[in-house]
Amino acid sequence: MKALRLRSQLLIAALLIILGLTGSLLLFIRHAVTVEIQKQVRDGTEESVHAFESVQRQRELQLSRTAAMLAELPTLKMLMSTEHALTIQDGSRTFWKLAGSDLFVLAKPDREVVALHMNKPGSSAATAERDLKRSMDLAEDPSWWYDDGRLYWVFLHPITSGAGDTIRPLGILAVGYQIDSGVAQQLAIAAENQIALTTGDSVIASTLSAQDEARLQRRIGSGLSPEEITSGEIVLETGRYAFSSVLLHGSSPFPVRCYVMMPLAPATAFLKHLNYSIYLMGGLAVLFGALLFGFVARTITRPLDNLVAGVKALAGGDFTYSITPRGSTELVELSTSFARTRGQLLTLQQQRIETERIAALARAASSISHDLRHYLATVVANAEFLYEADVLKLKKSEIYEEIKTAANQMTDLIDSLRELSYQRSAISPTLARIDQVIRRAIEAIHGRPEFRNSRVVLVTPEDLEGMFDSRKLERVFFNLILNACEATPGPDGTITVDARKEGNAFEIRVRDNGPGIPETIRDTLFDAFVSFGKTNGTGLGLAIVSKIVQDHSGTVSVEQTSESGTTVLVRLPLSGQSNPHPAISSRL
C-alpha cells in the first residue's frame, strides 16, 4: 500500500481530532439532556406521589369523619335496628347522598350486606360482602376494594346502640371514593405529565388517550410484572414516552402503582435541533480546521517536498538540483546537511569515475599490448622462417598463411576497439530474414577447423522478416555461438538457437549444455576485456554483442545459467531503428 504524504497525514489527523471532539461533545450533550429528562420524570413522579398522598389524607380525614358522623345518627341506627334488608336499602339512599361518597355500604353485624349504593352501577352485593369480610378479617381501615376494573378507597365504622355494658352492635357502615380519572387528572396537574394508575395487571385510571391506554394495558397484561418496569421508555400509539413508576399503596391483594409518563416528542425535536446545530458547527469546525491545517501543513511540508525532490534528483544522478534551505530550524539544518552531503558524493563519484577510467585504461592497455605482442611475435617469427625457408626447406605457403592469420587477428582486434570506442555506431537497416542471418553465422562457425564438427541446431519458423543491419547482427550471433561452442567442447556439446517472434520483437535464445557461467563474472559478462577459461580470448566478443544490440534498440541478457547449461536471450524490435540513447543491457 502506498504511504500517504506528510501533508495528508497531518490533515487526516486534524480531521479525526475534530470529528472525535465533535462526536464526544454531541454524546455528552445527549447524555446531559437524557439525564435531565429522567430527572424531570423522577421529580414528576415524586410530586405525583406527594399529591396523591395529600389527596388521600384529605379524603381519609373527610370520609373518616363522615363515616363516624353517619354512624351516630339516630335515624340510621333506627333504620339498622329494623334488620329488614329492603327497608334498609330504601332508607339508606338519603344517608348516601348525605355522605357524598362514591361507595356506600350498610351491613348487618354478621357482615351480610343489606344496602349498596355506587356512583357507577356494576358491582354486586356479593362482591361488596366479600371485600367487607376480607377487610374485617385483616383489620384494614381504611381498605382497598376492587371490582370489575374499579378501585375504591373505603373507610369502615361500626353502628352501635346503647352505651357501656348495654352497648349492642347494629351493623357496619362503609363509605369510599373511587380512584378514577379525576384522581389521575389531579396527579397529572401536579406532575405536569401524563398519569396512569394500575392495580395488578389492569389500568384503572389514566390521563392518556384511549389508544395509548389500551396499548399500556396490553403491555402490562403481557406477563411483565409491574415491579420489573419501574423506569425506562415505552412506545405507545401516539409516540414515545419516558416513564417512571412508584408504588402508591402496597397492600395485598390490590397494590396501586402510579406511572408518570413524559412525552419524548418535544425532547426528540429539541435533540434533532441540537444535533443539527452541533453537526453544522462541527462541519464548520472541520472546514476551518482543514483550511488552517492545510496552511500549516503546507508551511511544514513545502520545504520537505523540495528536499524530497532533491533526493530523487540525486538518486537519478542529477547533482545540480537546486535546494533552498527554508522552513523551521530543523528543516534548514537538514537541507544544508543534504546539500553538503550531495557535494561530497559528487566529489567522491568524480574520484571514483576517474579511478575506474584509469583502471580500465590500464586493463585495456595491458590486454591490447599482450594480444598485439603475441600477434607481432607470430609475424616476426614466421617472417624469419620465410627468410630462411629455402635453407630450411619450409613451405612458404604455410608460413604465409600463419602471417596472414596473425595480421587478420590484429585487424579484428583493432576493429573491435574501434567499434567499442564509438558511443553510438550507425547501422543500416534493410529488409531481411533473421533466420538467414543466423544460418550465415553458423556456417562461419563451421568454417573454423576446430568447430567444424560442433553440433549447432537452429529452431525457427518461416516468417521472421524485419528491418535490421544484417552484417552487424551476423557478428552478434557469430560471437554468441562461438562462445557457446567454446563452452561445450567435445562430441557431447550441443548448441540450440531458438528464434521466434513475440509481439513487436524478435526473441533469439542461444542455449548450450556447458558448465555454466562462473559466478565471478556473471555481473560483468558484457563488459569489455572480461574473459574466462580461454587461452587466446580478448574479452571483447560479448561487449561488441551488447553494443550492436543496443544500437538496434534491443537488449541482451543471460536468461539462465547453471551447471547444466546457459541460455542467452537477445530481444530485437522488428523495426530495427537505431537507438540514440542505448539502454543498459540486463545483467544477472
pLDDT interval class at 508 (50, 70, 90): very high
What span, in angstroms and rounded, lies between the C-alpha atoms of 574 and 588?
25
Q: What is the pLDDT of residue 380?
A: 79
Average pLDDT, integer, range 552-579 = 84
Give the mean pLDDT of the chain.
77
Look at residues 265, 221, 269 and name the one whose alpha carbon lies nearest to residue 241.
265
Q: What is the pLDDT of residue 225?
A: 47
pLDDT interval class at 10 (50, 70, 90): low
What the block records as the C-alpha cell of 213 is 391506554
> Residue with C-alpha cell 605482442?
373
Most confidently modeled range among 75-79, 196-200, 363-367: 75-79
What span, in angstroms and rounded, lies between the C-alpha atoms of 563 and 33?
82
Q: Contact 142/155 with Cβ under 8 angstroms?
A: yes
Strands 494-502, 455-459: parallel, antiparallel or unpaired by DSSP? parallel
pLDDT interval class at 199 (50, 70, 90): confident
Q: What is the pLDDT of residue 1?
A: 41
Between residues 112 and 248, the one the model is more confident about:
112
Phi and psi, residue 299, nearest 5°: -65, -35
Average pLDDT, integer, range 388-414 = 73
For 438, other C-beta atoms within 10 Å of its C-beta total: 25
What separation in angstroms does the CA of 4 have from each of 9, 13, 43?
6, 12, 55
Exposure pattern of 213-224 as b/e (b: 16+ CB <10 Å)? Answer: bebbbebbeeee
Q: Does 201 score more than 80 pLDDT? A: no
At 303-359, the pLDDT tens digits run 777 777 777 777 777 767 667 766 667 667 777 777 778 778 778 877 887 776 666
Average pLDDT, integer, range 410-429 = 66
What span, in angstroms and rounded, lies between the C-alpha atoms of 15 and 400?
90
For 104, other C-beta atoms within 10 Å of its C-beta total: 24
Q: What is the pLDDT of residue 252?
A: 56
Q: What is the pLDDT of residue 581?
A: 43
Q: What is the pLDDT of residue 23?
A: 74
Q: Contact 308/280 with Cβ under 8 angstroms?
A: no
Q: Does 383 score more than 70 pLDDT? A: yes
What span, in angstroms and rounded, lies between the C-alpha atoms of 444 and 451?
10
pLDDT interval class at 568 (50, 70, 90): very high
At 50-105, the pLDDT tens digits run 766 676 677 778 778 888 888 888 888 888 888 888 888 888 888 888 888 888 99
Between residues 170 and 302, the one the model is more confident about:
170
Structural domains for the chain = 72-178 (3.30.450), 423-573 (3.30.565.10)
Rg of the chain over Cα atoms, rounded to whole angstroms, equals 58
pTM for this predicted structure: 0.40
